[in-house]
Amino acid sequence: MSSPGRDARVVSRPRDYADRVSQTTNEPRDASVQPDPAPGGAVPAPGTPVVDTAGSSAGTSAGTAAGATSDDVQRAEDRLDLLGLLAYTELTSFARLAASSEQAPAVRERLELARYAARAVQRQGQVLARIAELGGDPTARIAGFDGIYDDYEARTTPSTWWEGLLKGYVGHGIVDDFCRLAVDGLDEASRAVVLEVVLDSEADESAADELLRAAQADAAVASRLALWGRRLVGESLGVVQALLASRPGLARLIAAGAARDAAERPGAVQPRTDQAWVLSRLTAEHTRRMGRLGLAA
Amino acid sequence: MSSPGRDARVVSRPRDYADRVSQTTNEPRDASVQPDPAPGGAVPAPGTPVVDTAGSSAGTSAGTAAGATSDDVQRAEDRLDLLGLLAYTELTSFARLAASSEQAPAVRERLELARYAARAVQRQGQVLARIAELGGDPTARIAGFDGIYDDYEARTTPSTWWEGLLKGYVGHGIVDDFCRLAVDGLDEASRAVVLEVVLDSEADESAADELLRAAQADAAVASRLALWGRRLVGESLGVVQALLASRPGLARLIAAGAARDAAERPGAVQPRTDQAWVLSRLTAEHTRRMGRLGLAA
């Protein structure tokens, strides 16, 4: 009868914990994915077997692609890490938007949020397709990030519809900004996919208009939401910190992107791109984002 | 942070109850939607205003389209009823598949169910587009059916993952079969949309393979699922009975379809198409469906 499945939520949920435990760091990991085809990087000989065992319990490398340097292999691995993070984030966006759809106050919002949820699945498909093109295993790459938002979830339970909307707007915005910081460290094709996905997902988080109206209409609502926003950004930055610590590849991409950016602008000084720099950049973007809602960050 | 939103489920859910209450029957209702363009039916004069106030609290008719007979108007209204039912069913499919995705035992199933949920939204979009083409208000047409599965939901809580899968397979199958019984009463363009949607949704309820394997592997599982299937079909047929009683337009479509079918086959006797006939047809299809799983109906 195509049930909304509300009751089904009591069914136990044996998520693949073994998989997650084996992925708390991204090394050691099979490194025989396709190396970075960027200028100067060696490309694999035709017919070179491409195997991605990320997410499996294999702890030893099956060997590197013929002709690839260890730098190429690491770059390829880092790239798959960022794509995996983005794909997993879209999967959780789907789940969040679907749950919001179920709880929407009226059918119009319910339909709109269902459409947004469907678009998150489409965006995820774009990222997974790129992972597959690069010789990665899409499912394993997503599984490698499974659970990274669980703690954040447990600590930020919205108590109103507006708080739920702001949670999506703030949380998604910070992940998008994080991907933007790292995107210049990618090859061109992957970069295009990431930027398209980030841009499209921002358009869908159109909660901004509704939040702006709610905040303008009621100063008490605005003040409560501003407080909630500060809580959300603190928790979100905690997730980013944990990611940077457990996934050195993401930090390498950010550094590579900043280096490329500095090289292209004569006279520009390359920033330090350490954790404090990343967090300050994300905080600045968050402040701008809250400002667009008329809320104090 | 694109949260899975599990916690958000505790947020109160002020669905538009007033809307639902005003829609417990489909009459009286504004009847000035586009009349049936079938051969013999008068078409509205160009520029005839088309207004669909289904779902509003308007209790009086705003008048019929110029040149349309009351039969045409009723046919147009009945058609929008079936399309609204199908669109609402796809919305609840989306919600059910999204919830199953959240509870899936591993990332692979989680991704697959998210894709199915997204496809349900796309199918819904096809139906809503047809409603709009016919001059109906898509949101109001969906809102008119809001809540029809709530009682079914409350009475069929799956206690295992398999029971949840079977619930989708059985429940969705019965609604699809119901739409098939009524589809021959539609105009050609609407008929094509409904058949395409029904066919596509069946392909997505691919739980059949997994259920078949589970039943073949363990006789105790097969026996429990057979029992659960009997429970589900009873509850599903209860929903159909309630629909036929509250929406006479759906029964009219089924009768019109059977009449057309009989007219096209010389010597065929037109069936009575009463409630008992509808339920017996749906039960027979259900029995075949359970048979494909190797389960006794």
Per-residue pLDDT reduced to its tens digit, B91-107? 999 998 998 888 888 89
Average pLDDT over residues B119-142: 97
Dihedral, CA of residue B246, residue B248, residue B249 and residue B250, to nearest 10:
70
User: What distance in Å separates residue A287's CA from the closest CA in chain B?
Assistant: 16
- Is pLDDT at B206 greater than 70 in this prediction? no
The single-letter DSSP state of residue A52 is -
Name which of A75-89, A200-214, B150-164 the model is least confident about.
A200-214
- Give the largest Cα separation in chain B, rounded: 65
Using one digit for the tens of pLDDT, what is the confidence trace for A154-198?
Answer: 899 998 888 888 998 888 889 999 999 999 899 999 999 999 999
Name which of A98-112, A118-132, A221-235, B259-273 the model is least confident about.
B259-273
- Is pLDDT at B57 greater than 70 in this prediction? no
pLDDT at B267: 78
Beta strands in chain A (DSSP E): none
Question: Residue A117: which residues within 8 A CB-CB, separation 6 or more?
Answer: A93, A94, A97, A98, A101, B94, B98, B117, B118, B121
Confidence of residue B231 (pLDDT cuts 50, 70, 90): very high
Give first-to-last CA distance, chain A, whole Å. 46
Q: Do B161 and A11 touch (CB under 8 A)?
A: yes
Angle at B116 between CA B222 and CA A183, to 5 degrees: 135
Average pLDDT over residues B232-253: 94
| One-letter identity of residue A62 | A
Q: Do A1 and B103 touch (CB under 8 A)?
A: no
pLDDT at B1: 43
Residue labelled with tokens 């995996």: A84
**Residue A8 near chain B (CB below 8 Å):** yes
pLDDT at B269: 73
Cβ atoms of A52 and A80 within 8 Å: the answer is yes
Angle at B127 between CA B126 and CA B133, to 5 degrees: 90
* Half-sphere exposure of residue B131: CA atoms within 13 angstroms, side-chain side: 27
**Residue B204 near chain A (CB below 8 Å):** no
**Residue B173 near chain A (CB below 8 Å):** no
Using one digit for the tens of pLDDT, what is the confidence trace for A201-232?
Answer: 876 656 677 788 888 899 999 999 999 999 99
Q: Do B107 and A236 touch (CB under 8 A)?
A: no
**Residue A102 near chain B (CB below 8 Å):** yes
Cβ atoms of A273 and A207 within 8 Å: the answer is no
Average pLDDT over residues B4-25: 35
Average pLDDT over residues B50-55: 50
- Is pLDDT at A55 greater than 60 in this prediction? no
Q: Do B117 and A115 touch (CB under 8 A)?
A: no
Smallest Cβ–Cβ distance between A2 and the set B93, B125, B142 belongs to B93
The single-letter DSSP state of residue B57 is S
State the Cα–Cα distance between residues B244 and B274, nearest whole angstrom.
10
Name which of A86-95, A97-106, A140-149, A243-252 the model is least confident about.
A97-106
| One-letter identity of residue A245 | A
**Residue B105 near chain A (CB below 8 Å):** yes
Confidence of residue A12 (pLDDT cuts 50, 70, 90): very low
**A109 neighbourhood in chain B, CB within 8 Å:** none
The single-letter DSSP state of residue B60 is S
Residue A18 dihedral angles phi and psi, to the nearest 5°:
-55, -40
In chain A the domains, ranked by start, together with CATH numbers, are 32-45+59-292 (1.20.1260.10)
**A97 neighbourhood in chain B, CB within 8 Å:** 5
Smallest Cβ–Cβ distance between A96 and the set B3, B15, B89 belongs to B3
Using one digit for the tens of pLDDT, what is the confidence trace for B29-45?
Answer: 333 455 544 443 344 44
- Is pLDDT at B60 greater than 80 in this prediction? no
Q: Do A103 and B11 touch (CB under 8 A)?
A: yes
Q: Do B121 and A106 touch (CB under 8 A)?
A: no
**Residue B95 near chain A (CB below 8 Å):** yes
